Amino acid sequence: MPGGVGGRREQSRLLPDTMNKSPSNSTAEITPRYDTKREYPHGDLAVWAFIYAELLVFSVFFVSFAFARMLNPEVFVSGQLTLNPWLGMTNTILLLTSGWLAAAAVLANASGKQSSALKNLWVAILFGVGFLFVKGYEIGHHFAAGYDLDTDAFHFLYLFMGSFHFLHVVLGVGVLVILAVKVKRGDYGPDECQGLESGAAYWHMVDIVWMILFPLVYLMR
């Protein structure tokens, strides 16, 4: 989302001109001073409301997981041993790299480098699809090994949260594909980047969720 110029609206706050006038000289040059903080986040506010709501939903799952673990520590410790942290790490690398590329795409678009933005978006999509393959393999492997939602509290929450996040990644990849198509069509540019910024913000939300989900489910013992 970095570097966006705000598209339809420049949201930096202009301080009153009177603050910049020299009282001793009526013809003094008026120099606009900008508060460098934007009034609103990059992208559409409705998407941000959606992002905050999604984070709230995921937080309920995280806290439920932690308190369920408190009630059944043996089940959760033995359940964690059935997971492969390296698969989780691979997915972390894939998501973080994809997020970095999405941010780079927004920056490139805002700088008028649409071909660079497009390239970054397609590679970000590739990494997102990579995440889906690894996660799909992991969940499939778990079911094949005989674990399912009925096995115990750990596997219920692990499979439920993992699948729910998986669906968000599917949606995110879909959004990135649409953004890439629109960038290729020339729909976005330095003066119009709100849609691209909104889509990228959603993709970063998926990253943020994984940053808690991964250590909580795979690593914390």
Partner 1 sequence: MKTRITQRQLTIIWVLLMFLSTLGVMAVNAGLAGLLFSMLLLLMASWKIQLIADWYMGLREVRMFWRMIIYVWLLVVIALIAIAFILTPDIT
Residues binding partner 1 (CB under 8 A): 1-4, 36-42, 48, 52, 55-56, 59, 62-63, 66-67, 69-70, 73-74, 77, 85-86, 88-89, 92-93, 96-97, 99-100, 102-104, 107-108, 197, 200-201, 204, 207-208, 211-212, 214-216, 218-221
- Shortest Å, Cβ 160 to partner 1: 17
- Shortest Å, Cβ 24 to partner 1: 27
- Shortest Å, Cβ 144 to partner 1: 24
> What is the C-alpha separation between 13 and 189, in angstroms, rounded?
23
Between 53 and 148, CB nearer to partner 1: 53
Give the C-alpha distances (Å, rounded to integers) separating 119 from 52, 101, 142, 158, 181: 29, 9, 35, 34, 11
Between 33 and 148, CB nearer to partner 1: 33
> What is the C-alpha separation between 37 and 112, in angstroms, rounded?
22
> What is the C-alpha separation between 218 and 91, in angstroms, rounded?
12
- Shortest Å, Cβ 7 to partner 1: 13
> What is the C-alpha separation between 28 and 17, in angstroms, rounded?
12
Give the C-alpha distances (Å, rounded to integers) separating 112 from 6, 11, 152: 14, 20, 53
